[in-house]
C-alpha cells in the first residue's frame, strides 16, 4: 500500500490510476491525515466476498444458542 498527498494525486492522477489498475492500493493524505483509499474496483469485491464466506463458515460451525419462545405467527403479526 502506498500513500500519496492529495495534491500529488491530483497532479499525477493518470499514473496513480495506472498503478491502481495493476493492483496497487493508495491511501490519500490531506494535511497528513488519511482521507481516502484508491483501490482496484474488483479488489474490494473480492475481499468482501471472502469475508462473507468466512463469516458463513464460522456461523455454520457454531451451535445454536438461546430458546425460541415464539411462534411463526407471533413473529409476523398475522
Domains of the chain (ranges, CATH numbers): 1-42 (3.40.1620.10)
DSSP annotation of 21: H
What per-residue confidence (pLDDT) applies to 78? 61
- Of 61, 8, 59, the C-alpha closest to 38 is 8
The confidence score (pLDDT) of residue 62 equals 87
Q: Which residue has the cell 483501490?
A: 39
The pLDDT, as a whole number, for residue 16 is 96
Decide: residue 75, CB within 10 A, 0-12 exposed, 13-18 middle, 19+ buried: exposed
**47: which 3 cell numbers?**
475481499
> Which pLDDT score is estimated for 43?
65
Residues of the chain with pLDDT under 50: none
Amino acid at each position: 500500500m502506498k500513500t500519496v498527498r492529495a495534491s500529488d494525486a491530483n497532479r499525477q492522477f493518470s499514473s496513480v490510476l495506472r498503478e491502481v489498475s495493476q493492483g496497487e492500493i493508495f491511501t490519500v493524505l490531506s494535511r497528513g491525515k488519511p482521507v481516502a483509499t484508491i483501490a482496484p474496483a474488483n479488489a474490494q469485491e473480492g475481499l468482501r466476498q471472502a469475508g462473507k464466506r468466512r463469516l458463513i463458515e464460522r456461523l455454520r460451525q457454531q451451535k445454536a444458542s438461546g430458546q425460541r419462545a415464539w411462534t411463526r405467527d407471533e413473529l409476523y403479526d398475522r
